[in-house]
Amino acid sequence: MVMTKNLADHFEMTEIKMFESRLNAIKEIQNNAMGVEIGQFYGAYAFSIKNIPGPSYNVVKGDSFSSENTIDKILSFYRAREIPARFDLAPQYANATSLQQLHNAGLYQSDFHATLYCELNEEMVGKTKDSFIKIRQIDEAEFDRYGNIYVEVFLIPYFRRKIMFKKFMSFTIFTCCLFLFGCTDTDSNQKNEFVTNQKKVEIFNDEHLVIEENIEEKIGFKPDKAMAFDAKDSYEQNVIIDGEEAIYYKIPTTTEYFDFNYKIDTMKKNKEDKPTRNFRIFVYENKEFVDFWVNNKSRKYYDVKIPNNSSVNIPISVKMDLQKDYSDILVVLIDLNIKNNIHELMNASKILVSRKDIKNNIKDYTKKDLDNDNLKLRSEKNNSDEMRGVNLLNKNVNNVDHISEAKFIKLNQVPAEVIQEVMVFDIDGEIHPFSGGQLEAITLKRKVNEDIIIPYNKNKTDKRLFILMNNNPNQLAFKHLNDLKDHKVEQYQNYSDIFEIGN
């Protein structure tokens, strides 16, 4: 049986009609409680179910290239529903022009879907075999079993399970079979909640992805851990500053999710070291911790256990603001087993992401962007060599050792004038406001040879507390690269510091 374009179009339309019928059946349940919508854009069909936000039902089928601007209209359809778009591209629609259009829209190939067919012959028609498959309507006592099968197959988050059980009570076991077959006739990655970053977390036992073999010779000591990150090669850009490369990532203007790999490398330095290390990862962006995706699930934070003297690669997806041209993403790593004293510096990994080329006309922050005048801050001259640190102060502005005694937090001087975001948070990622109650990072203008003292009333908590200081947030990080390149400034300041301040 020879495949022709007419036959391929017939198969594609058959699948579209089956899919349309399935979603219309869901739409009829309880006045469309699941939020089903079907949009037709010339020869393309955009299917969407608001309460099942994964790609299994939120998918584009048909000819997306039959009219100009069809792809942009489809992307707007899904963007309005805050659901990523996925295009199922049949072979008859794939050519250099169509693939370039998808690439220009920020899309890329991520999965394969196969339609199997055969020609019926006379011997096959009318013949049946005994089957153990029976089709009948389930009763209420069996529904938990059906519900568990359904949510496991589609990786539906636990908090949605009761909703799903309620919404689908009127479905028959026949419908369940259709759903299962609809999932399994595609690649296993079809089950992912989003088409971005479908790789899984991977442990590399007794391997070092970041720490070099001769690291002790290079830096004079063995680090207990090291971190690194990388993203799609085609996104990577660099700025040459005095012969050194500074990396940032430029993503297409329509890309909603930024994917990157975060690597943690541990080294066993002593026989007494524990056999495993436990870490917690947060992602910080735009003055707060944001949800991110690991292993097909949305996370507020992600806990990972690593054998000592080994590495882990963690693929992460972060939703990006389509209206922001310049962003900085911080990956914050906390050791769950080891507490740090207040003078031990912990760095966050800072990833710069832009939608535009770096230009010399990037806007600076204005006074209205700063919180210096909104808080009762004190400043003190500091001519010592003490930099990049914090101290806890009591009501008499004397140093204390424990956060429970502190009425102020002092930020030590910076080596160069900089804009800095500052935030106190606990081990669960909850933000603890400074006096004034602002539940996000505050933004301060920092001057050389000047400490800043911030009023702080500790909330009642036994959790571990940390303070984060992010230099040059958002577009300022890119402006700083330009200033370095043009020798307007001398010292690199695009770093972020974290200190543990107690519990």
- 3-state DSSP of 127-184: CCCCCCCCCCCCCHHHHHHHHHHHHHHCCCCHHHHHHHHHHCCCCCHHHHHHHHHHHH
Burial classification of residue 41, based on how many CB atoms lie within 10 Å of its CB (0-12 exposed, 13-18 middle, 19 or more buried): buried
- Beta-sheet pairing, 244-250 with 349-354: parallel
Beta carbons of 472 and 400 less than 8 angstroms apart: no
The first and second tokens of residue 441, run together, are 């990072």
The contacts of residue 463 (CB under 8 Å, 6+ apart) are 426, 427, 428, 430, 503
Dihedral sign computed on CA atoms, order 483, 489, 490, 495: negative
What the block records as the tokens of 23 is: 């979603």
Query: Where do the DSSP E strands lie in 320-464?
Result: 326-335, 346-347, 349-354, 378-381, 390-393, 399-400, 408-411, 418-426, 431-432, 442-446, 450-455
Extract the tokens encoding 76: 């707007």
Fold of 202-502: Immunoglobulin-like (2.60.40)
Q: Where in the chain is the domain with CATH 2.60.40.10?
A: 202-502
SS (H, E, C) 274-317: CCEEEEEEEEECCCCECCEEECCEEECCEEEEEECCCEEEEEEE
DSSP state of 227: E
Q: What is the DSSP code (8-state) at residue 221?
A: S
The token pair that represents 1 in the structure block: 């049986």
Q: Please list the pLDDT of the chain residue by residue as tens digits (503 residues).
A: 778 888 888 888 888 998 898 888 888 887 888 889 999 888 899 999 887 766 778 899 998 887 778 898 999 998 888 888 889 988 888 888 888 888 888 888 877 777 777 776 666 555 555 555 677 777 766 666 766 676 666 555 544 444 455 444 444 333 333 333 333 333 333 333 333 445 789 999 999 999 988 887 777 777 889 999 999 988 999 888 877 788 999 999 888 899 999 999 998 766 667 789 999 999 999 999 999 999 888 899 999 999 989 999 999 999 999 889 999 999 999 999 888 888 888 879 999 999 988 876 788 888 888 888 777 777 778 766 667 789 999 999 999 888 888 899 999 988 889 999 999 999 999 999 887 666 678 999 998 888 999 988 777 788 999 999 999 999 999 999 999 988 898 888 999 999 999 87
pTM above 0.85, yes or no: no
CA dihedral 277, 283, 289, 293 (to 10 degrees): -100
Pairing of strands 418-426, 442-446: antiparallel
Copy the structure tokens of residue 140.
């209420």
∠ CA 167-257-241, nearest 5°, is: 165
Handedness of CA 272, 277, 278, 282 (dihedral sign): positive
Angle at 459 between CA 495 and CA 413, to 5 degrees: 30
Amino acid at the residue 413: Q
What is the CA 27 to chain-centroid distance, rounded?
A: 31
Contact 455, 376 (CB under 8 A): yes
The residue with tokens 């309620």 is 166
Helix axes 173-184, 5-27, angle to 10 degrees: 140
